[in-house]
Amino acid sequence: MKNFSNGILSKNITTANISVYVCLLFLVSPFLNGCSRLRIELQKDKSYKEWKAYQWKEIKKSPNSEVKEWIIYSRKLRGTNFLEYKIEGKVESTASTSLSAFKGDIIRHTNGSKIDEKLTTYKLMEKSEDSLLTYVIHDESFPFKDTEMCLRYKFFTDEDRNSIVKWNEAWDKCEIQPSKKLKRIEMFRGSWIFSSTENSSTQAVNIVQFDPKGMPMWLVKPMVIKFLRKGLENIRKITL
């Protein structure tokens, strides 16, 4: 009888414990669910901020006083130290004519045309129907060394009939030894994309990619903005 009573008592205690656990679980569940939802929302917010950090951000646009509009954007490239900038604007010419004008402008540089006084040396190393290889020395302001670049330009039309030129560093193709007097730009990439619009005009987009190598942004940003604006102005000029 005693053992039977102990069994009943033990069973009652177990049942009571289960009831307590169920009550606690009932009370705690909303809190746990809330924490879970909070973690999900925080993760979404973190993912969005990371995604947004690598999207194009407008940094400057043409003032209202300028008839020919332009907009400049910038962003970081994920997984690299590279910065990417681009300028967008309209050109009063067809896409194919704009691309041909850009190519012709490079060739005029190599023939000695002083379009840019900062370009103290501009050599054409190779030339074909769809490619150019150039070597350039650029005069930099004191106290910086003059810079040298070797670039391969490739010209083509994509499946959407956009006229495109892309360029990148090509030191493996330039048989020029490094000089202590010059700073070699190891990596410099970019493109022009010309897309035809209505009325025989073209939407022009110039993109450049580079590693600032620790240069402060207060110095990099205005230099790149000036470079992009000058490039678009030149395209507009040579396609008139």
Mean pLDDT of 111-119: 58
Same domain for 75 and 179: yes
Tens digits of residue pLDDT in 176-214: 888 888 888 888 899 999 999 877 789 999 999 988 887
% of the chain surpassing 90 pLDDT: 45
Q: What domain count does the chain have?
A: 2
Same domain for 220 and 174: yes
Checking if the pLDDT of 114 tops 70, the result is no
For the whole model, what pTM was predicted? 0.76
% of the chain surpassing 70 pLDDT: 76
Same domain for 99 and 45: no
Residue 17 is part of which domain span? 1-53
Residue 9 pLDDT level (bands cut at 50, 70, 90): very low
228-235 CB contacts, 8 Å cutoff, 24+ apart: 228/72, 228/85, 228/86, 228/87, 229/70, 229/72, 229/87, 231/87, 231/206, 232/70, 232/87, 232/89, 232/204, 232/206, 234/105, 234/115, 235/91, 235/98, 235/101, 235/102, 235/192, 235/204, 235/206
Same domain for 4 and 101: no
Tens digits of residue pLDDT in 123-171: 899 999 999 999 988 887 777 788 899 999 999 999 999 999 999 999 9
The mean pLDDT of the chain is: 82
Residue 53 pLDDT level (bands cut at 50, 70, 90): confident
Give the CATH number of the domain where residue 138 resides: 3.30.530.20
